[in-house]
Chains A and B, each alone.
Chain A
Amino acid sequence: GAGVSQSPSNKVTEKGKDVELRCDPISGHTALYWYRQRLGQGLEFLIYFQGNSAPDKSGLPSDRFSAERTGESVSTLTIQRTQQEDSAVYLCASSVLVLSNQPQHFGDGTRLSIL
């Protein structure tokens, strides 16, 4: 009965380092979404998965960003050569199906700070 779990909850790293963010969706949820939320802002869509395929990568800001998903479970979002503008909260959500009428269930996010 666990919800969406994200780790780490906080990450502080130096500019230029790579970071890996993890998302454990609700068991049985086919769809998984990644968003970025800058301080005081709304959500910026990054990528979504249907199963382990990613039909829409259009939201990834640059080629430094990549994501993968193993089967219908864990997903990792990787940011290479981090920049200060990457500082934000990265939110993951999952839903039963990739359909617009399915509510998304969110984790509490990873707060990323680039020094």
Chain B
Amino acid sequence: DTAVSQTPKYLVTQMGNDKSIKCEQNLGHDTMYWYKQDSKKFLKIMFSYNNKELIINETVPNRFSPKSPDKAHLNLHINSLELGDSAVYFCASSQEWGKGAYGYTFGSGTRLTVV
């Protein structure tokens, strides 16, 4: 029974398209995150949500928008995809705000390729 699941695992799409990546956690965690791993293998936070409230929004283009219908889900919508958006996107969750540093649980990642 997967703790943090992301779909799809692979996504190939053309420039200019709009796409979504879904994430669900069944751990009862309070906070969920999206991380991006670029071509240099650098993992960088994009967003985090606590109780459906955006807590952190790093310098991410507004073409990226997180959507959290409930505490167990945090989806990532990307509009007008660009070549530079190609990366692996990881969803993660943690137990309590302020205790996230004590261990995230990551999903297996979504490899997005923009052609």
**Pair from one complex:** no
